[in-house]
Structures are given as C-alpha cells and as structure tokens.
Amino acid sequence: MIGHRRRGHAGVVGLSALLTLGAVAPGVSARSAAPPDVAGQWTQPFEEGGAATPRCQPPADDNSPGGSGMSPEGDRVVCKPTAVEAAVLSDGRVLYVNGLEGQENARGSTPTSLAPSSRDSQARLLDLRSGTPRFSLPAGPRGGQANPNIKPGQRSSDDPLGALGVPGRPGDGFVGSAWGRLGGPAQAPSSPPDDKADNDGDLFCSDITALPGGTLLLAGGTDWYNDPSVMDHNDGDPADVGIAELEGLRSAVLFDPDSNSFRPAAPMKYGRWYPHAVIGADGNATVFGGVTRLVRDSQLGNVRRSETYHADTNTWTENYVGPASETELPLVPRIVLAPNGKFFYAAVGQMWSPLGQSVDEALTAFFQFFDPRTRTWSLSGVAPLGARSGAFVVPLTLAPPYDQMTLVTWGGVLGPSPGSWLPAVPFTTLTGVDSDGNVTNRTAGDLHHARWYSSGVLLPDGQVLAVGGADKDDVVMPGSAIAVKTPELYNPVTGQWTDAAPHSRDRGYHNTALLLPDMRVLLGGNAPLGAHYGGANQDQGGPFTNNDNDPSFEIWSPPYLFRGPRPRITAVQKAVGYGESFTITTPDADLIESVRLLRTPSPEHVNDSDQRALQLDFTRRGTDAVTATAPPSGNVAPPGTYYLVVNKKSLQGPIPSVARMVDVGRTDPAAALQPFPDDPPAPAGGTATPDEHSGVTATARQPARAIAAALPAPVSGPVSAPLNRRWLFFLR
C-alpha cells in the first residue's frame, strides 16, 4: 500500500505534465503596438509540467523529476527549477541549472534560515527541436559534488583561524597575499562544517562554459551553512540560529551531452563563488575571480589568482609567476578574449560583496589585460564611467581582418563596493580593443529603459538585444526594484536603441537569455531573494518585481523572422580549421549578403563573455553555393562549437537561416548537424502557472507540505524503481 500510494501520486502528476505540454497550444503575445517585423513577437510563457502541475511538491526519490536528489525530509517541498545559468548544447538542446534551491522551505529571515533550507540545485534539459517544449532529467540531476574542503565530522570551530578566514594563503584575497609576502605560514581560508544538509555541492554561482568538443565546464559553486551554527533544523533543532555563509567551492564539474551526465573534474586550488570562466585561444578555460566566502569575507577582497583547466589531462594550472599575476576583480568579472590573445577585463562585474570590500578595490574601475603567456596583469586606463555593477558586456560582430573588437556595455549601476540602493543607469559605452592592445572609448545612445542585471544577446543581423533586468540594484535591498519588461535592440550602425515587444513575466535577479539554433531567443529565470531579506518568497507586491522563483520560459521571434522566407543551408562540413576555405551549399546563393559564425551561448548570472559573432569573407559559386573563409586564429574565434548562418537580403534588412552546428579550430568533412528544421514556427505547446504578486510559490508550498507530512516514509528497493521510470517516461 505504501509503494502503491507513492507511485500513483507521481503517475498522476506526470500524466498531467505530458498532457499539458503536448495538448495545449499557446497563443503569442499581442502586447506591443508595433508590428512583429519591427518589434518581434513573444510566445506565451511555458514551464515544466505546465500550469496543471503544482510548482512545489513533496520531495521524492533520487531520480524523480522533482529532482530531489535526497530522501523526503519532514515537510520539505521541492519546486520546479528556475533557469539561473544555462547553455546551448552542441546538439541544440539547452541545459539549465536552478538557483536559490530550497529557499521555499526557509522558516524565517534570509540571514538565519536561507543556508539551512538550501539544497544543491536541480538541473534540467529543455528540448525545443520538435517544436514542442520537452523537459527531461540529466543523469545525476543535481550535478554537484561535496565541498572538497570538508573533513568527516568537522565542525567550524575545529579550525578557529579557518573559521575566521584569516590569515589565509596567498591568492585567497588581499589579506592572504599580504600575509604571504610577509613570510607568514599558509592557513586554510575557511572551515566548513560537515553538516547533515545536502547543500555542500551546489552548482549555484558556478560559472558555465563550453569546452571544444561540446563538454560543458561548471567551475565553482556554493556550500551553504550557518556560521556559527548554534541551532539547525537539519539537526532536529527547533530553530535555525546563526548567520548564513556561502562558501565558494573548489569543485569543478563536467557535463557530457552525449551521455546526458555530470562527472567530477579535478578541483581547483581556490574556492570560488561567482567566478568567471573564459575560453582562451588554445581552447583551455581560464577561471578568474570569485570569492572564498561571501558574507564574512575577512580576506578583504576576492580571489586574486586565476587558474586554467586542461581538459586533455584533467588538471589545473595556477597562473602565478609573481605579484603581477594577482589583481582585485569584482564578482563575476566581465572578461573577454581580445584580438591580441589577451584576456580583457572591461571594468564591469557584480560590485557588491557584503563585508568583502578590498582596500584596493579601486582597481575594479581600471581596464586590465591578463596575458596568458606571461601570466601577468597590466592596467590600460580608467573606464570612462568607473566601475559598473550589473551591466552587460558583449563584443559586436567582428569583421575581417578581425584586428578590432568593439565591446558594447549598457546599464548597471555605478560605483564599486559597498554600493547602495542605487538606480540603474541608461548609459551605453563602446570600448574598442585592437590587436596591438590599444583601448579606446566613446559613448552611444542611451537605453530607453535604465536597467540593472539585464541579459544581452548578440543576434545574427549584427544587432544586440537587451532584455530583462530591473530599474535598480535588487540585491542591496531585495523587493525594492521594478522589473523592466520592454526589451531593446541596439543598432551598431546608428548607435541607437529601439524598443521591442515586451515579455510578460518579471525577469529580474537571475534571469537568462540565449540565442537558439533557429535564431530565436529563449528567456527564462527570475530567482530573487525574499523582499527586504524577510524570508522565503516574501513579496513586496506590485508594481515591484515579483519575488517568487519563476521556472517559466518565453521565446522571442526577432523582427528578421517576419521579413519573408528564410534562406536555407543544405550542406556544410562539420568542422573548419583556421583560415580554411569551405563550401556552403544553399539554393539562395544569389541573395546571400553575409555569412556569420556565432558561438553557442552559455550565460550565468547574466554574463556570457564567450559570446561572440564573426562575419566571414565569402564568394559565390554559381547559384547554389558560396565559399567562405574561416577566421584566422583562436585569438578571434576560440576553438569550440558555433552557429553557422547565412543572411539573405531583403528590403527591411537581413533574414538569417537556421543554424548548422560547426566546430571551429579543426577540420572534419562530415556533414554539420542542423538541430532545427528549415524555417520552423515558434515552439508551441505548454502553459505556465499564472503570475501573481501574492507569494505564488510560498502559498503553493503549504498544501504540498501538508501532503508531505501525511505521506509515510519512503521504502527502498523495487517499490521506488517503477516510480522513477514512470516519472522519466512522462517527462520525455
């Protein structure tokens, strides 16, 4: 009877999910007065399981689509994951990872209850290739690993200096490096407890990037615990007493799209929360910044040394040759590989860092280069607006001979830590970086809607989409911001922004936008903290941003999809080497105006510095083919998977094809994959829980908790296996 009851509950919900996703046809948004060929058009929101499936349910077994990764715990609930970080895989699917997992179970204010309630984040796969959204579980749906710094049975008090975070080691932060220069002995910068909660390997606040070959690297993350942990619900205590700590993880995780599974990579030397990973000219990923501990960061700054991952040997290299190898960077520093082969820091990041201000934080306002050959930093002048927090940075399309890169930076708030309740700014700046390392600056037209923490998407017609965000920094005082729902398009020819059709949901803190292989934009996310740090999903109410985690997605069809029939690529090779000439077969050769490569996106915390587009030289070969020339080196096109598209002329502007997935940096004459059919309609099917400013998730968890409390304890063995298979079947 026990097993029957559990299987029946899961099966009913799973069937609802299947019917909702497959049978309900969404409309499209009609909120914009401008026609779609000017403003584009959005689908209605959709989410895993649709509106018929509750957002929060009692946790189930390891492999259930509730994604618990744990056994049920009292009256805990597990909610549908929200897209906080995501990546398009080399086969066109999307992997996304939740953030603030378990916030719904907090029993008090954020400072005391968030860490004990948190759990390792769930991951999901979203497949839009059939035209209907389909969700599935990766193997090991929570992906993370235990904090490698934890010792069995360890308490924070076992290492008092580690608990204090000082003196630390060189590279941990300002204090650790100063201590090392004085000749002091190295000391662990933290002392994480061996607690009972499954929250010491959270992928939340890791950074994600695609390695050559399509494997994803997720570096860093979060170990949650209260410090000092005087009382803890996880230990059976009646309350949580202590202050939340978020420790940066040394962990690194690899996701293999062929097996749909996570596996551990070798750990880094430094624990990193909010780091940034960038692919270099050689295809290796270098990780910058992050912080060892967020709340009580007595290091007075963030991690000062970078590390490079070598996938062929599964090893890390600490990039240190002396003091010039260290610098102060903000959290999630915006760093881009420049045409000179160096990594360029654009004076933008997440400048807030509670109790973690550094005495040399003025460096965050300087443009800086990191040379991977000498492993040293150099300054290149002060950014015209100083340090910017929560702004988006993306390089405009590079054109032959690829010796000049222009970064467009917009929005955010001004000033380094400690920051304040500041309104977002509308300012747009253009920063030029050439192959000789020269840096120039100029201004462009202001945004129509000042926005902090917006996402940015580089489009195949050369324009840039700014989408989501809020009108002020919503971390300093959660609940005080108002969502910006009207996206804008930046035209690099005119230097001006124009409004696009508005999306329907608030996409504030922790939103994610990605360019799909069909050249549409997938928008998801919104995982803010409870208003005024008041507890789980505390909502300020309209017009302020909804503080409920939102697992839904919306898809935008840009204006270029309403300009007429799209061109087609009928054949192209799977991989092209640097400088190689290659043939693209297309029946539209006479009308092709440009050929472009766009790197597959992998945004995390509205930062995707690997995002780039390149215009290719090409010549026509009759009426059915063109010959294009690949980029000359990894400095301008780091090795990896790119979208290859051709743009057709029209009176209203270019019309892009559906992408073929082409690897750059090697040669393979086999046929390139085309994940989406030619000229597909916008994905259809699926619904989403109605959007309300009434604590939707917090309210939904109450009946779910009642169900959880009424359910008997799970049993092991054959009883749970049918449950797992049935859930997976209904989610395919």
Reported as a single tens digit per residue, the pLDDT across 591-643 is 999 999 999 999 998 899 889 999 999 999 999 999 999 999 999 999 999 99
Mean pLDDT in residue range 102-115: 89
3-state secondary structure 182-199: CCCCCCCCCCCCCCCCCC
Q: What is the pLDDT of residue 28?
A: 45
- Based on its alpha-carbon atoms, the radius of gyration of the chain, rounded to whole angstroms, reads 24
Does residue 194 contact residue 220 with C-beta atoms inside 8 Å?
no
Chain mean pLDDT for the chain: 87
Model confidence pLDDT, tens digit, residues 110-138: 889 999 999 999 999 999 999 999 999 99
Q: What is the pLDDT of residue 291?
A: 95
Model confidence pLDDT, tens digit, residues 329-384: 999 999 999 999 999 999 999 987 555 567 888 899 999 999 999 999 999 999 99
CA distance 595 to 351: 38
Q: What is the pLDDT of residue 271?
A: 97
Residue 418: asked if its preceding bond is cis (omega within 30°), the reply is yes
- Token pair belonging to 570: 């009928």
Beta strands in 338-435 (DSSP E): 343-345, 348-349, 366-371, 376-382, 388-389, 392-395, 404-410, 413-414, 428-434
Phi, psi of 262 (to 5 degrees): -95, 150
Q: What is the pLDDT of residue 78?
A: 93
Q: Tally Cβ neighbours within 10 Å of residue 587.
A: 13
Does residue 496 contact residue 432 with C-beta atoms inside 8 Å?
no
pLDDT > 80? residue 706: no
CA distance 392 to 604: 12
Amino acid at 507: R
Does residue 647 contact residue 460 with C-beta atoms inside 8 Å?
yes
* Burial letters 602-636, b for 16+ CB under 10 A, else e: bbbbbbbbbbbbbbbebeeeeeebbebbbbeebbb
CA distance 381 to 696: 48
Q: Which of 4-8, 52-56, 238-242 has the lowest mean pLDDT?
A: 4-8
Model confidence pLDDT, tens digit, residues 199-234: 999 999 999 999 999 999 999 999 999 988 888 888
Reduce the DSSP state of residue 701 to 3 states and report it.
helix
Q: Considering only the C-alpha atoms of the chain, give the largest distance between any 2 of them, rounded to a whole number of Å.
A: 77
- Token pair belonging to 525: 């996310």
Work out the angle between the directed axes of helices 720-731 and 2-23 (0-180°, nearest 10).
0
Give Cα 358 distance to the centre of its chain. Answer: 26
Q: What share of the chain is helix, strand, coil (3-state, %, to 5)?
A: 15, 30, 55
pTM score over 0.85: yes
CA distance 262 to 138: 8
Residue showing tokens 């000219």: 281
Model confidence pLDDT, tens digit, residues 386-429: 999 999 999 999 999 999 999 999 999 998 766 555 899 999 99
Q: What is the pLDDT of residue 231?
A: 87
- The domain 565-671 having CATH identifier 2.60.40.10: the answer here is yes
Reduce the DSSP state of residue 722 to 3 states and report it.
helix
The Cα-based distances of 62 to 66, 265, 282, 387, 725 in angstroms read 9, 22, 38, 44, 12
Q: What is the pLDDT of residue 444?
A: 98
Mean pLDDT in residue range 552-573: 98
Does residue 455 contact residue 487 with C-beta atoms inside 8 Å?
no
Domain range list for the chain = 565-671
Mean pLDDT in residue range 705-729: 34
Q: Tally Cβ neighbours within 10 Å of residue 568.
A: 16
CA distance 36 to 561: 9
pLDDT > 80? residue 710: no
Q: What is the pLDDT of residue 627?
A: 98
Phi, psi of 58 (to 5 degrees): -60, 145
